[in-house]
Amino acid sequence: MKVLAAMSGGVDSAVAAALAHEAGHDVTGVHMALSRDPSQTRVGSRGCCTVEDADDARVAAERIGIPYYVWDLSEDFHDLVVEDFLAEYAAGRTPNPCVRCNERIKFASLLERARLLGFDAVCTGHYARVAHDGPDGAPSLHRARNRAKDQSYVLAVMGPQALAASVFPLGGFEDKQQVRQAAYERRLGISTKPDSYDICFIADGDTRGFLRRHLGESPGEIVDADGRVLGEHRGTHGFTIGQRRGLGLQDPAPDGRPRYVVDIDPRRHRVVVGAAELLSTRTLEATDTVLFEPLAPGRPVACQIRAHGEAVPGIVEQAEDHGAVRVTLEQPMRGVAAGQTLVLYDGDRVLASATLTRRTA
């Protein structure tokens, strides 16, 4: 099989490319240059697709013995991921840029280019497993054996068609140290390289500062659930549902309990705060549903709304491919925010992905 290996410059993608090559596939490595600043460098463990990363990917490809290229996808990344991130925060929602990157860059832009060039599949260093256990051998997406590193949540948005053309060699590894050992044994040059974390295009980790620089300031009121003005803010984009710290309120709540952000209304420039119980919901509503298999009303599922969050049991009330999904939870879930990604599981098996639209009490 002719395989295009996405090589970020990290240990995971390098080992994945090496394993695909050793499995007998005809592998070509490609580094996606996603930053509009070609001189961008890493800041400790922060940053992605930097000059150092491109060099590390090149060295790893040479040692594997595969061709290597750099593709400039910076405009696609900016338009489809960064601008979406800003627009979602401006609209009072809480996006996951890693989900959007996987959907629109790694399994849309990259896969489209790969197919045009005659490749059969894309190989990445994501921690997830693919099983061909559906009708006529159709693939299904499963959690990785390494649950701490599992990335099935951010991959679920890719859908079954892209999954059929994807290879994830790291899904069977039990822990990260095994991956680093595999890199060391193959002399890939990056076995001790630290993992990247946080949002890759915000290298200093200051998300609020990034939003302020790009969205500016739009002052408004901080109010309680009854509409009583408690303070002021410099922009609703500086807040997320469930936030407790950094509210800037001088007076404590009358009952002395902590206050949390429970609603964001960018049209009225208002941030609503209240007690913790106002964050809880028993119903999840979402749209833009991507189904890996049909979901009948009444089916039990496990619902996850954060990349490494707990999956909460629920019952499907409605599920339409590319349409709406509604799930009733067996127990209340806190901190649900519009814009978050909802992924439904049956055990380790991914059933669907959707984007939360609102929280219902």
Q: pLDDT tens digits, residue range 81-96? A: 999 999 999 999 999 9
CA gyration radius for the chain?
22
pTM exceeds cut of 0.85: yes
Percent of the chain with pLDDT over 90: 77
Reported as a pLDDT band with limits 50, 70 and 90, residue 45 is very low
How confident is the model over 95-154, as pLDDT tens digits?
A: 999 999 988 998 888 999 999 999 999 999 999 999 988 777 789 999 999 999 999 999
Reported as a pLDDT band with limits 50, 70 and 90, residue 328 is very high
Query: What's residue 138's pLDDT?
Result: 82
Place of tokens 């979901």: 295
| Residue 101: active-site member | yes
As a whole number of angstroms, the distance between CA 336 and CA 273 comes to 14
Query: What's residue 7's pLDDT?
Result: 96
What are the C-alpha distances in Å from 194 to residues 11, 12, 62, 180, 246?
8, 11, 21, 10, 30
How confident is the model over 27-36, as pLDDT tens digits?
A: 999 999 888 7
> Cα 129 from chain centroid?
17
Q: Which domains does the chain have, with CATH numbers?
A: 2-185 (3.40.50.620), 217-278 (2.30.30.280), 281-360 (2.40.30.10)
Tokens representing residue 45 in the block: 């463990």
Reported as a pLDDT band with limits 50, 70 and 90, residue 300 is very high
Which of 48, 101, 123, 303 is flagged as catalytic?
101
As a whole number of angstroms, the distance between CA 51 and CA 57 comes to 10
Sequence-distant (6+) residues with CB within 8 A of 208 are: 238, 246
How confident is the model over 178-223, as pLDDT tens digits?
A: 999 999 999 999 888 888 767 888 877 888 899 999 999 999 999 9
Please state, rounded to an integer, the average pLDDT across all residues of the chain.
Answer: 91
What is the pLDDT averaged over residues 288-317? 95
| Residue 200: active-site member | yes
Query: What's residue 166's pLDDT?
Result: 96
Which of 98, 123, 200, 303 is flagged as catalytic?
200
How confident is the model over 258-284, as pLDDT tens digits?
A: 999 999 999 999 999 999 999 999 999
